[in-house]
Structure 1
Amino acid sequence: MCDEQYIRYRDDTKVLAAVGACVDRQTGRIAVRLPRELAEAAVAAWERTEDGAPGTETPEQYALRDGAAELALIGLAITERGRWEGEEVAVDLDVAAAGAAVRAAR
């Protein structure tokens, strides 16, 4: 690929960020319901302590750690503002956290 393509990609990324800023202003948080088992696993990810900083990572390892961090942030949201209703939890998730979960499912 030539440098011109990467210049266009950088410009595209700036537009994507601007779209994200517009979406964020309109949505902020979205209400979701999660089964107890998934909610408890997310909370456990939040409460887990990892020893030491990560060393050099492959792109795959970085992606795995990033996904685990997104799950932990969902666990934080459940801990702070989740409402347990029987076998489900209702929680307002930041749209970015909800989007990360949807991307992981795809």
Structure 2
Amino acid sequence: MVEPEYPRLVEDREQYVRYQQDRTVLASIGAHLDPQISQISVRLPRAVAETAVAAWDREELGGIGEESPEEYELRDDAAELAFIGLAISSRGVWDGEEVVVDLDVVQIAAALRASR
């Protein structure tokens, strides 16, 4: 059995204290930005907009059991898509083969993250 490297654990813990401080500053920046940029008007192609609406309308019948981190991320992304579908359903304006809708910046960020 190999003994754990205690000095490294202490360093790691200090690193996470700094990360927590960083998160606090990031949250402060978010608090300042939120009233400035809460929603952005975007245009989406009809096909993806209709798929997002279908995700919102879909009923998930199974319960949620234990999930791997990857499964959790997939479910979270699916939920973000459904919320975009809700926005399209409730306030989207169809313009030919596109829909114009105001999306919350959190939804836009989720879509951008998923595209990478």
Question: How many angstroms does 1:21 deviate by?
Answer: 1.7
Cα separation, 2, equivalents of 1:23 and 1:45: 29
Structure 1 length-normalised TM: 0.95
Corresponding position of 1:29: 39
Question: How many angstroms does 1:42 deviate by?
Answer: 0.3
Note if 1:43 corresponds to 2:43. Answer: no
2:15 aligned partner, one-letter code:
Q
Corresponding position of 1:12: 22
Could you report, residue by residue, the CA deviation over 1:57-81 in whole angstroms, capped at 9, with x for unpaired residues?
Answer: 0000000000000000000000110
Cα separation, 2, equivalents of 1:85 and 1:27: 24
Corresponding position of 2:74: 64
2:93 aligned partner, one-letter code:
R
Could you report, residue by residue, the CA deviation over 1:4-39 in whole angstroms, capped at 9, with x for unpaired residues?
Answer: 111111111111111122221111100000000000
Corresponding position of 1:102: 112
Corresponding position of 2:6: none
- Greater RCO, 1 or 2 (C-alpha within 8 Å, sep 6+): 1
Number of aligned pairs?
106
Structure 2: unaligned runs, 5 residues or longer: 1-8
Cα separation, 1, equivalents of 2:73 and 2:98: 28
Structure 1: unaligned runs, 5 residues or longer: none
Question: How many angstroms does 1:53 deviate by?
Answer: 2.5
Structure 2 length-normalised TM: 0.88
Could you report, residue by residue, the CA deviation over 1:41-64 in whole angstroms, capped at 9, with x for unpaired residues?
Answer: 000000011013310000000000
- Larger Rg, first or second structure (1 or 2): 2
* 4+ residue segments displaced more than 4 Å: none
